[in-house]
Amino acid sequence: MTVSVPVDPSKAVNALERRYQEWKRSPAGKNIYPLFRRFAYERLVLAQRFSVKALAERVRWEASVDTQWRPHEFKFNNNLSAYVARDLIKEWPLLERLIEVRRVREEETS
């Protein structure tokens, strides 16, 4: 199931989606999202199923061992992982077979 995520935070469906869009535009998001892309692409090349939560843990690990990162620069809330998954699938539709995307609780109440 592919669900589009609006680029403009003002068009977000719910508060969590708005937070995701704001995070992605923030300095932390601009530095961290490319790591999600890199590691998702690795899984795509290998055609291996994966969870975005596991991907987030790998991103956290890589950021923690890389000396250029400072702890305050890595900010990612696990509640935003569904939106990361959707953006990755939007970029690489073949990921739809490898990542399970579920509805976000906030979407059910909107």
How would DSSP label each residue in 79-103? GGHHHHHHHHHHH-GGGGGTS----
Higher pLDDT, 6 or 61: 61
How would DSSP label each residue in the chain? ------SSGGG-SSHHHHHHHHHHHSHHHHHHHHHHHHHHHHHHHHT----HHHHHHHHHHHHHHSTT--GGG----GGGHHHHHHHHHHH-GGGGGTS-----HHHHH-
- Domain membership of residue 73 as a residue range: 13-109
Mean pLDDT of the chain: 81
What's the pLDDT score for residue 69?
Answer: 60
Q: Whole-prediction pTM value?
A: 0.78
In a domain, 92, yes or no: yes
What's the pLDDT score for residue 54?
Answer: 92
In a domain, 4, yes or no: no
In a domain, 31, yes or no: yes
If one counts the domains in the chain, the total is 1
Higher pLDDT, 67 or 23: 23
* pLDDT per residue as tens digits for the range 53-101: 999 999 888 877 665 666 556 667 888 899 999 999 999 999 999 998 7
Confidence of residue 11 (pLDDT cuts 50, 70, 90): low
